[in-house]
Amino acid sequence: MTPVLKGWRPLYYSLAGFFLLAGLTSGERPFFVLFFAQILLALAALLVNLYAAWTFSFLQQTSASQVQHGDLIHLKLQLHNEKALPYPLLRLRIQRAEDPEPARLEFNLAPHSQRDFDWMLHCPYRGRYLVGMTVIDFIDCFNLVRLPFDLRRLPYYRMPELLVLPGFETGVTLQGQSQVRQAAAHLARPSDDNSEPYATVRPYQPGDTQREIHWKASLRQQTLLTRQYGQAIEPQVLLILDFSQPAWPGRLAWQAADALCSAASTLLHAYLSQQIPVRLISNQGPHLVESRIARSLQDFEALRTWLGNMAFAAPVPLSDLLRKGQALLESARLIFLLTTAHEKTSIDPVLSLLARQNRPGRPCQVILALPESAEKKTNPISADTFGLTLFRQNGLKAQAYRYGQSWAEQEQ
């Protein structure tokens, strides 16, 4: 590989400026000759870089477009020089799924040659990513001109998309499974419409279809009512997902988001494997309250894919979600709030709303998703510990769910 002369470029152009000033002040011809010689050399280096950028060809692909949390995939690169002239030094920036900062790769290409690279990409965080080459720096052998070429500006260039699904655990035993299962079985039995004319309807909830609305009962009560017997089992477990942007920077924010989706996937699988329907509401979507229902394990993979695609940039505050979703909270027998909020300014607006729903026989539990070893890297009274303390002081059961730890370790 051609060595790059570090620190030479500023000195080179400083000398060119000196020769120009010396020529203008003294009028001596040699200074102008040296100045124009340097400028012509720099222009020649620029032309070589432009030639390489114009004729550069490549092939890029990933071994998979959808993977599980923690998997490894291959990013295969083939770079070609099909011309008779060698290319200058190529410095590639490669976007990865495990780090916001791109990786760098440097090499030269001789005439009529190609270089093959098999890059291993680790996928430790759930989410949708664009991976692969982003910018190529063309640098001449004298390091006079660096030409950055952004491939993303090309109309035909598409970076490979990668979807990383959140992880989950099986065989997890959760609190209240038996009580919720009994309540679900009770609701599955049809009710007597003769003795209780409105026993088979409930208030309208976002996500109910027009076909499920009981129009006669709605007209009598002057409010929209939905048929309950049209559904096999009414969900008794409610997961409130806060998709607000985590307050941590960079990779820590990715870890907190991954922990939240992994906890939600584990809860979903645990209850659905016991045939307990689950309703999920979130503050990310076209509606103020985005509602989804899972009734069996057949719905699990679709919801896990939905969690993997979710961007943590909710436009609706968590407090507004809780206010608008009061009807859903009232009908649930077990409530979980999953959030990354650990600061007092984010927690205070929702404390009273959650405490109001926390009743005997209908617990409301908070799961605070945290990045890996956040407490160990700071003082003992860290920000995440302070968030748990705020929830517990208001009578709510709160636990931390840290990235990289199993459910059993979270309970300790």
All structural domains of the chain with their residue ranges: 1-165, 177-190+232-411, 196-228
Sign of CA dihedral 19, 24, 25, 26: positive
Show Cβ contacts of residue 228 under 8 Å, excluding neighbours closer than 6 positions.
187, 191, 200, 201, 202, 234
- Least confident range of 197-201, 233-237, 344-348: 197-201
Q: What is the pLDDT of residue 190?
A: 44
State yes or no: pLDDT of 1 exceeds 60. no
Q: What is the pLDDT of residue 43?
A: 92
Show Cβ contacts of residue 23 under 8 Å, excluding neighbours closer than 6 positions.
29, 31, 32, 35
Task: Return mean pLDDT, the chain.
Answer: 81
| CATH number of this structure's domain 1-165 | 2.60.40.3880
Q: What is the pLDDT of residue 287?
A: 61
Q: What is the pLDDT of residue 166?
A: 93
The CA–CA distances, whole Å, from 3 to 86, 105, 108, 172, 333 equal 15, 14, 10, 56, 68
pLDDT tier, 351 (very low <50, low <70, confident <90, very high otherwise): confident
Can you name the residues that pair with 398 across neighbouring β-strands? Answer: 366
pLDDT tens for each residue of 360-378: 777 788 899 989 864 444 4
Q: What is the pLDDT of residue 207?
A: 65
pLDDT tier, 285 (very low <50, low <70, confident <90, very high otherwise): low
Give the span between the Cα atoms of 331 and 317, in whole angstroms.
22
Q: What is the pLDDT of residue 196?
A: 41
pLDDT tier, 40 (very low <50, low <70, confident <90, very high otherwise): very high
190 secondary structure, DSSP code: P
Give the span between the Cα atoms of 186 and 192, in whole angstroms.
13
State yes or no: pLDDT of 126 exceeds 50. yes
pLDDT tier, 239 (very low <50, low <70, confident <90, very high otherwise): very high
pLDDT tens for each residue of 137-192: 998 888 888 889 999 998 889 999 999 999 988 887 776 555 555 555 544 444 44
Q: What is the pLDDT of residue 202?
A: 75
298's tokens: 């057949």
pLDDT tier, 2 (very low <50, low <70, confident <90, very high otherwise): very low
pLDDT tier, 197 (very low <50, low <70, confident <90, very high otherwise): very low
Q: What CATH superfamily classification does 177-190+232-411 receive?
A: von Willebrand factor, type A domain (3.40.50.410)
Q: What is the pLDDT of residue 9?
A: 80
> Which of 129-143, 309-323, 392-406 is modeled with the greatest confidence?
129-143
pLDDT tens for each residue of 287-330: 667 788 888 889 899 999 999 998 888 777 888 888 888 877 87
118's tokens: 């098999």
The residue-averaged pLDDT of 324-345 equals 83
Q: What is the pLDDT of residue 6?
A: 62
The residue-averaged pLDDT of 263-277 equals 91
Q: What is the pLDDT of residue 380?
A: 40
pLDDT tier, 260 (very low <50, low <70, confident <90, very high otherwise): very high
Asked if residue 334 lies in contact with residue 237, where contact means CB atoms within 8 angstroms, the answer is yes
Nearest residue to 234 via CA among 290, 294, 320, 194: 294
Show Cβ contacts of residue 244 under 8 Å, excluding neighbours closer than 6 positions.
283, 312, 314, 317, 318, 339, 340, 341, 346
Return the percentage of the chain with pLDDT > 70, whole number. Answer: 84
Q: Which helix (DSSP H) or strand (DSSP E) does residue 210 occupy?
A: none
Q: What strands, in cross-sheet order, belong to the sheet with 103-107?
A: 103-107, 89-95, 132-139, 146-150
Crossing angle between the packed helical segments 8-26 and 29-55, to the nearest 10 degrees:
140
Decide which of 402 and 193 is more confident. Answer: 402
Q: What is the pLDDT of residue 95?
A: 92
Q: What is the pLDDT of residue 10?
A: 82
Q: Which helix (DSSP H) or strand (DSSP E) does residue 240 occupy?
A: strand 237-241
Decide which of 342 and 237 is more confident. Answer: 237
State yes or no: pLDDT of 120 exceeds 80. yes
The residue-averaged pLDDT of 373-385 equals 51
Q: What is the pLDDT of residue 288?
A: 63
Token look-up 């919720």 returns: 180
The residue-averaged pLDDT of 257-269 equals 93
Residue-wise over 376-398: b if at least 16 C-beta within 10 A, else e? eeeeeeebbbebbebbeebebeb
Q: What is the pLDDT of residue 321?
A: 83
Phi/psi of residue 251, nearest 5 degrees? -65, -30
The residue-averaged pLDDT of 29-55 equals 90
Can you name the residues that pair with 128 across neighbouring β-strands? Answer: 163
3 state DSSP class of 397: strand
The residue-averaged pLDDT of 233-249 equals 82
